[in-house]
Structure 1
Amino acid sequence: MEKGAMVFPFPIAVSCLFIIVHIFANSVSGSLVFNFYAASCPTAELIVRNTVSSSSSSDPSIPGKLLRLVFHDCFVEGCDASLMLLGNNTEKSDPANRSVGGFSVIESAKRVLEFLCPGTVSCADIIALAARDAVEIVGGPMIEIPTGRRDGMVSVASNVRPNILDTSFTMDEMINRFSSKGLSLFDLVILSGAHTIGAAHCSSFRDRFQEDSKGKLTLIDKTLDNTYADELMKECPLSASPSVTVNNDPETSMVFDNQYYRNLLTNKGLFQSDSALLSDNRTRKFVEDLANDQEFFFESWGQSFLKLTSIGVKTGDEGEIRSSCASINA
């Protein structure tokens, strides 16, 4: 456990969660404040929430996409919507980000907010709020997050790979990457719980298999349950289209819960980086505790999500408030 990591040895009453998260947020969020738009755009958070809810109703994959979007944005250049910028050499153009989705939801909310409160609400805040709301919409905890992020003006593809995680990472590689963002070992375990929703392309876990002499996939990663591996190989044969996806959570893929950790205990983590959490002595006990206590997971999620969405934020005179999330202001 890294020094200073906040881990509660027993469940905290849900009624106390907001107070604890509020205090914790103030310690990590710098100039971000709660209800930042109370005077300048009072309905900002409601508009984002309604947009996410409406989009999720018509496309159940949206919550998972929004959660992945906030991770990929915050780990590169901080939580500044730099991933939203279009261009030949921007973050969005890097192959690692080409399968990231949810952009249309952010742009939809932005258009409404620009009509009602022009030049006021940042794309960076919309991304953070949308991911927060996405979790709640599919059964996760309701948390308050501070706002006041400003949009970045730098987005370079070459910055992506040195900063984001890969599903094939070892535990040490994941720890180093999280530590570089000010996130602890416990944050790593908690935020990996995002894989309780969403889906992944076959290529993201294909390295756990190899082609045998008959041209069929065969399991080579012995940390994966054999029956589960057989199911994955049926869903992702070598002939599968690159667009084919598999649910991250084979049990409750549309619900934000602690099933992810229960899956790990039965060797049903989709990615190599998931299975590593169980096989490594530094994180196994966390996995076991979280698998046995959903309330503990929800409380811990609130803390770690606040830290995630406070990485490298730009506030005050930094950056800008974009008129369109896809481009910097003229």
Structure 2
Amino acid sequence: MLVTDAVRSASTFDQTVPAKLLRLLFHDCMVEGCDGSVLVEGNGTERADPANASLGGFQVVESAKALVEVFCPSTVSCADVLVLAARDAVRLGGGPNVRVLMGRKDGRVSSEANVRANIVDTTFDLDQMTKIFSSKALNLDDLVALSGAHTIGRSHCSAFSDRFAQDSKGKLTPTDPLLDKKYGNDLLSQCPRNADPSITVDNDPETGLVFDNVYYQNLVMGKGLFHSDSVLFGDTRTRNKVLRFAESEESFFEGWERSFLRLTSIGVKTGNQGEIRRLCREING
């Protein structure tokens, strides 16, 4: 309840908080496992890698942890707080309420060198994504379900610039065959050439603040923001799963719950493998 209150309060002032917390969890679990290592500040840490430069939600986790420490000192790890915060972010956005497991310890290592090889890039094809997911014991069903996290959130223009090319006159045009041309031109109207780097657009152009299955309906219509989204419908290995989720929000929520539990079980540290940090931003001294 303490974590839920912190997430709800922060989301009231900033509607982008739920998506930030969910993305933060992914970047934590996919690198060193769900051990809160992405939360650690400092040179050479995961957080310092340029691939994590656009991550947000750190202060929400830190605030939630501070509340928990008042009532349950040295009992709940930052890793568990982050999992709970991401779970609550989904629920507050209209998604399912997942009953997550607890008992994770915080990792004592956070290394920038571990980031790039473990993070899915928005330009990836299905084989590249499958390789990373398989290394975490996640399968194609998990990949399709967890990609549904893009039903909320916003992204910088640079995150999907690979889908456009510049002609001899300097005009940008959509070149990715998996991208609906009208949607591509809509994106270009929001992200023209030499656009302000701070500009962001909704991952889901229809219901960007709601955790729902419209993301999959968008994929069917060629309106996936990233190439890594569009290939899920473009590849026969995952197309039917996308169609099923597009047709049934209940099926998506069921798939999300299963895969979210698998995601939050990656590389969990227990016992002497980790610690319970006093502050999420630094390893105990």
Query: TM-score normalized by structure 2?
Result: 0.99
Cα distance in 1 for partners of 2:97, 2:43 equals 38
Cα distance in 2 for partners of 1:278, 1:209 equals 20
Cα distance in 1 for partners of 2:98, 2:21 equals 16
Q: Secondary structure at the match of 2:272?
A: coil
Aligned-residue Cα RMSD (Å) equals: 0.7
Q: What is the Cα deviation at residue 115 of structure 1? A: 2.1
Q: Secondary structure at the match of 2:110?
A: coil
Of 121, 129, 151, which aligns to 2:106?
151
Residue number in structure 2 paired with 1:289: 244
Matched, 1:197 2:152: yes
Matched, 1:329 2:270: no
Cα distance in 2 for partners of 1:95, 1:234 equals 27
Q: What is the Cα deviation at residue 216 of structure 1? A: 2.0
Residue number in structure 2 paired with 1:118: 73
Q: What is the Cα deviation at residue 98 of structure 1? A: 0.5
Cα distance in 1 for partners of 2:247, 2:119 equals 29
Q: Secondary structure at the match of 2:155?
A: strand
Of 263, 266, 272, which aligns to 1:317?
272
Matched, 1:174 2:129: yes
Q: What is the Cα deviation at residue 222 of structure 1? A: 1.7
Q: What is the Cα deviation at residue 116 of structure 1? A: 2.1
Cα distance in 1 for partners of 2:272, 2:203 equals 40
Residue number in structure 1 paired with 2:63: 108
Cα distance in 1 for partners of 2:255, 2:270 equals 26
Residue number in structure 1 paired with 2:30: 75
Residue number in structure 2 paired with 1:258: 213
Residue number in structure 2 paired with 1:212: 167
Q: Secondary structure at the match of 1:324?
A: coil
Listed as ranges, the gaps of 5+ residues in structure 2 are none
Runs of 4+ in 1 over 3 A off after TM superposition: none
Q: What is the Cα deviation at residue 219 of structure 1? A: 1.1
Of 82, 85, 96, which aligns to 1:130?
85
Matched, 1:51 2:3: no
Q: What is the Cα deviation at residue 239 of structure 1? A: 2.1
Query: TM-score normalized by structure 1?
Result: 0.85
Cα distance in 1 for partners of 2:142, 2:168 equals 42
Cα distance in 2 for partners of 1:243, 1:88 equals 24
Q: Superposed, which structure 2 residues align to 1:270-289 within 5 Å? A: 270-289=225-244
Cα distance in 1 for partners of 2:68, 2:22 equals 21
Q: Secondary structure at the match of 2:236?
A: coil
Q: What is the Cα deviation at residue 242 of structure 1? A: 1.2
Q: Superposed, which structure 2 residues align to 1:19-58 within 5 Å? A: 46-58=1-13
Q: Which amino acid counterpart does residue 126 of structure 2 have in structure 1?
A: M
Matched, 1:184 2:139: yes
- Per-residue deviation, residues 97-145 of structure 1 (Å, max 9, x unmatched): 0101100100001111122222111000011000000000010011211
**What's the % identity of the aligned pairs?**
59
Q: Secondary structure at the match of 2:31?
A: coil
Q: Which amino acid counterpart does residue 282 of structure 2 have in structure 1?
A: S
Q: Hey, which of these two has a bigger chunk of helix by percent?
A: 2
Cα distance in 2 for partners of 1:121, 1:241 equals 41
Cα distance in 2 for partners of 1:146, 1:158 equals 29
Q: Secondary structure at the match of 1:261?
A: helix
Of 259, 264, 268, which aligns to 1:304?
259
